[in-house]
Amino acid sequence: MKFIINKELFLEKLTLASHFTSTKLTSSLTLQGVLLKGTKNSLHFYSSNLSSYLHTSLKVELEKEIEVVIEPKKLSEYINFLPPGKLEIEVKEKQITIVSGKTKGNFPLIAKEDFPLPPKIEEKGQTIKTDFLLKNLPIVLFSASYDETRPVLTGVNFLTQENLIIVSTDGFRLSLVKAKKEIDIPSVIIPADFLSEVLQFIKEEKEVKFCYLKNEKMIVFSLDNAEFFSRLIEGDFPPFEKVIPTERRTTVTIEAEEFLRNIKLISVFARDFSNIVIVQMVKDGIWIKPKTDAGDENNAFQEAEIDGDEQKVAFNYKFLLDFLNHSKSKKIIIEVLRPDAPVVFKTEDGEHFLHIIMPVRIAVPS
């Protein structure tokens, strides 16, 4: 069976679907593929890694229904090199053929038995503004863990109280957003990598539809022609409230852009000393230096407002860079209790967002 399709649109959908296939070598070939399911007027794309699912579609005139599984990466690479315009696609029993002018490429099909399809959405969805997601999720996602041995830490915890609390942690740092309740949602843990993928594809939308599937323990984000499904992470999120200090002995108010630049400067030397930088808080500002006994040869000074005791705290500079690169605030407020206690970083608004970094416990040189 043959049909004609726009190259750019087909490649766009195929690339999107490939983001939700399994990348594990131990998984079945089926999970590494994309299901093409054609009806009379539409070509549907399905992909899944069993934790998340994607469904999207294109308007295409088809003479017959089709249902085949293709390997997306090699096929996408081939199509990307073809000139713009229309493609002729022919689906046979064991292969799919892509024709552009006189150029032809054949690609084998993958067995489609037991291809995992997403559940049907029967619950009533809620509408959420895309700006809300684009504003709040990026400043939380970077603190989630990549360690799959502790699944709950690879997710973002959503808590509905008087406000909506969004929090993530990898055990070394924590990000917390407090926002108005844009959606009615129970306490759930949503995989951070799934949310990161969704953000990439909703930037041009004003609103998205959100749905919580209670029986399947899944959440869904829906656009006009795409649906993103994810299973929730089961387990108890760590009691993060206990990590947030209630006292402080030193408060530093500092220009964020200059602080970022100075951390980058000292990181050149800190990479040779376990990535550790020392922030020394004095009366009129802060000294930033690597963890080294080489004296004061490599350091940077920045003026700052200091309220409280003089202190020294050691950090993994990569954690500081992650926070500063995601913060949009012009000024940063740093609250320190002591060198071995969690350090709180706040933005200018003070109430909306806070970030915590666990300091490195070392014998800090003078």
List, in order of start, the domains of the chain with CATH numbers.
2-110 (3.10.150.10), 126-165+178-238 (3.10.150.10), 244-357 (3.10.150.10)
Per-residue confidence (pLDDT) for residue 218, from 0 to 100:
96
pLDDT band at 180 (very low <50, low <70, confident <90, very high): confident
pLDDT (average), residues 41-57: 95
What the block records as the tokens of 314 is 């050691």
Per-residue confidence (pLDDT) for residue 26, from 0 to 100:
63
Per-residue confidence (pLDDT) for residue 295, from 0 to 100:
62
User: Taking 60 as the threshold, does the pLDDT of residue 365 lie above it?
Assistant: no
User: Taking 90 as the threshold, does the pLDDT of residue 182 lie above it?
Assistant: no
Per-residue confidence (pLDDT) for residue 63, from 0 to 100:
87
Per-residue confidence (pLDDT) for residue 296, from 0 to 100:
67
Torsion sign (Cα): 331, 258, 345, 284:
negative
pLDDT band at 366 (very low <50, low <70, confident <90, very high): very low
Per-residue confidence (pLDDT) for residue 293, from 0 to 100:
58
pLDDT (average), residues 152-168: 93
User: Taking 80 as the threshold, does the pLDDT of residue 58 lie above it?
Assistant: yes
Smallest CA-to-CA distance from 327 within 303, 352, 302, 305 is with 352
CA distance linking residue 28 with residue 114, whole number of Å: 11
Per-residue confidence (pLDDT) for residue 53, from 0 to 100:
97
How high does pLDDT run on average in the chain?
93
User: Taking 60 as the threshold, does the pLDDT of residue 208 lie above it?
Assistant: yes
Task: Give the pTM.
Answer: 0.91
Cα angle 94, 97, 103; round to 5: 150
Per-residue confidence (pLDDT) for residue 333, from 0 to 100:
97
pLDDT digits (tens, 9 = 90+) for 312-342: 999 999 999 999 999 989 999 999 999 999 9
pLDDT (average), residues 296-303: 88
pLDDT digits (tens, 9 = 90+) for 89-137: 999 989 999 999 999 999 999 988 889 999 998 888 899 999 999 999 9
What the block records as the tokens of 122 is 């029967």
Asked if residues 69 and 35 have their Cβ atoms less than 8 Å apart, the reply is yes
Spatial strand order of the sheet with 311-316 comes to 300-303, 285-290, 276-282, 311-316
Per-residue confidence (pLDDT) for residue 110, from 0 to 100:
93
